[in-house]
């Protein structure tokens, strides 16, 4: 009885995010690979010209906005020029100006890695490595944490989850956010690294390690000042909602999605920092329902995802999930049209 109540409540959360049926959402044809231009530029670099730091930060902010709003095609087109300009500015600079430019280079490659990971591109290895090199040269603990996180994600996807967890744990410890006084920025960064480490451990089927890391992430997040603007790393923030999201994804990948159900209703999407993070929540719930064998709720979450971030549902992982539904014995009205529209099936 308790499980049915939890599932009913969780369904209500997902359904409330749908602003119309899946058939009503605009997106006639699936987009081409958003990472293609960035991948090409890694091996045939665009020629960049130095610019002032203000202009450079403006360009970086625009690229970050594209990522945060799940506009991946726009991000992919912007990255080659951004990276080339940032590297040219760094190479022409000295002293603190060079360090600031290194931070922009690092964060540009962080965005490139996030995009590559979403597209299942092997280019993530190159971009993550370049991000970490630039971050270390910048001397910024935040930039180093951001680069370490995307490198660890790349390691996890290559099956190196244990090494990735250790790497994230060492990076989190280096932030100096222990039991004593620590800045909100350090606490937020540590929380983000611990959440990522927890999911990474769960992916490696290390349940006790994953749960310990989740608890530590929640305790660290609980030490952050209440009521302030969300902080964290460049592409993720630290909040109770994020911690609950990582509970959902971790329990699902551990093969115990029943344990994830209570956390679905604990995620207040207003606490999530961006459209991309809301899309991540919907992706996690879709995977949870799918593992539970509830195809109706899986499809409901996918339609909510398309309504929130149309390009997100066209990613390889989500197309594969849609294809699984398509070839399941259960008939879901509107699914084939959805599958064709998002690139999971052809007419």
Span 88-115, average pLDDT: 98
Whether CATH 1.25.40.10 fits 32-273: yes
SS3 (DSSP) at 20: coil
As a whole number of angstroms, the distance between CA 314 and CA 324 comes to 14
% of the chain beyond a pLDDT of 70:
88
As a whole number of angstroms, the distance between CA 169 and CA 163 comes to 10
pTM reported for the whole predicted model: 0.90
As a whole number of angstroms, the distance between CA 322 and CA 334 comes to 12
The backbone torsions φ and ψ at residue 233, rounded to the nearest 5 degrees and listed phi first, read: -110, -175
**Contact criterion met (CB below 8 Å) for 188 and 232:** yes
**Contact criterion met (CB below 8 Å) for 161 and 155:** yes
**pLDDT exceeds 50 at position 346:** yes
The whole-number pLDDT of residue 177 equals 57
Domain residue limits, the chain: 1-30+274-347, 32-273
Express each pLDDT in 204-216 by its tens digit.
Answer: 999 999 999 999 9
**pLDDT exceeds 70 at position 242:** yes
**pLDDT exceeds 90 at position 347:** no
Q: Distance between alpha carbon 1 and the CA centroid of its chain, in Å?
A: 34
- Measure Cα distances from 299 to 245, 277, 286, 311, 322 in Å: 19, 19, 7, 16, 8
SS3 (DSSP) at 232: strand
> Which residues are registered as beta bridge partners of 232?
237
**Contact criterion met (CB below 8 Å) for 152 and 133:** no
As a whole number of angstroms, the distance between CA 165 and CA 324 comes to 30
Express each pLDDT in 136-149 by its tens digit.
Answer: 999 999 999 999 99
Span 197-206, average pLDDT: 98
Q: How confident is the model at residue 330 (pLDDT cuts 50, 70, 90)?
A: confident
Q: How many C-beta atoms surround the C-beta of residue 223 within 10 A?
A: 15
Give the residue among 332, 325, 329 at the shortest CA–CA distance from 344: 325
**Contact criterion met (CB below 8 Å) for 113 and 150:** yes
Express each pLDDT in 148-181 by its tens digit.
Answer: 999 999 999 999 999 999 999 999 999 875 555 4
Span 329-341, average pLDDT: 94
Identify the weakest region by mean pLDDT among 84-88, 184-188, 216-220, 273-277. Answer: 184-188
Q: First vs last Cα of the chain: how many Å apart?
A: 42
SS3 (DSSP) at 236: strand
As a whole number of angstroms, the distance between CA 166 and CA 172 comes to 10
**Contact criterion met (CB below 8 Å) for 196 and 149:** yes
The whole-number pLDDT of residue 176 equals 73
**Contact criterion met (CB below 8 Å) for 36 and 79:** no
As a whole number of angstroms, the distance between CA 245 and CA 163 comes to 23
As a whole number of angstroms, the distance between CA 244 and CA 227 comes to 18
Give the residue among 97, 125, 101 at the shortest CA–CA distance from 48: 101
């Amino acid at each position: 009885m308790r499980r049915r109540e939890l599932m009913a409540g969780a369904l209500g959360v997902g359904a409330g995010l749908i602003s119309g049926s899946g058939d009503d959402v605009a997106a006639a044809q699936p987009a081409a690979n958003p990472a293609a231009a960035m991948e090409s530029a890694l091996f045939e670099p665009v020629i960049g010209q130095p610019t002032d730091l203000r202009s450079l930060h403006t360009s970086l902010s625009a690229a970050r906005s594209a990522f945060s709003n799940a506009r991946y095609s726009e991000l992919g087109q912007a990255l080659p020029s951004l990276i080339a300009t940032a590297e040219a500015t760094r190479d022409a600079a000295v002293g603190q100006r060079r360090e600031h430019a290194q931070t922009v280079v690092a964060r540009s490659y962080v965005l490139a890695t996030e995009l590559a990971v979403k597209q299942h591109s092997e280019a993530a290895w190159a971009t993550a490595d370049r991000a970490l090199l630039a971050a270390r040269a910048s001397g910024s603990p935040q930039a180093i944490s951001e680069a370490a996180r995307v490198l660890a994600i790349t390691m996890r996807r290559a099956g190196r989850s244990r090494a990735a967890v250790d790497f994230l744990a060492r990076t989190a410890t280096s932030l100096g956010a222990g039991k004593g006084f620590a800045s909100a920025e350090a606490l937020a960064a540590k929380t983000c690294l611990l959440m990522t480490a927890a999911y990474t451990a769960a992916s490696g089927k290390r349940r006790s390690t994953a749960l310990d890391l989740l608890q530590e992430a929640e305790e660290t997040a609980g030490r952050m000042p209440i009521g302030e603007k969300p902080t964290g790393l460049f592409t993720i923030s630290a909040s109770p909602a994020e911690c609950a999201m990582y509970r959902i994804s971790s329990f699902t990948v551990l093969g115990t999605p029943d344990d994830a159900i209570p956390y679905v209703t604990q995620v207040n999407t207003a606490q999530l920092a961006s459209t991309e993070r809301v899309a991540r929540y919907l992706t996690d719930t879709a995977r949870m329902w799918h593992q539970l064998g509830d195809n109706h709720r899986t499809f409901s979450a996918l339609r909510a995802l398309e309504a929130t971030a149309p390009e997100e549902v066209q990613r390889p992982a989500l197309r594969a999930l849609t294809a699984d539904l398509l070839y399941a014995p259960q008939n879901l009205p509107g699914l084939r049209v959805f599958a064709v529209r998002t690139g999971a099936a052809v007419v």
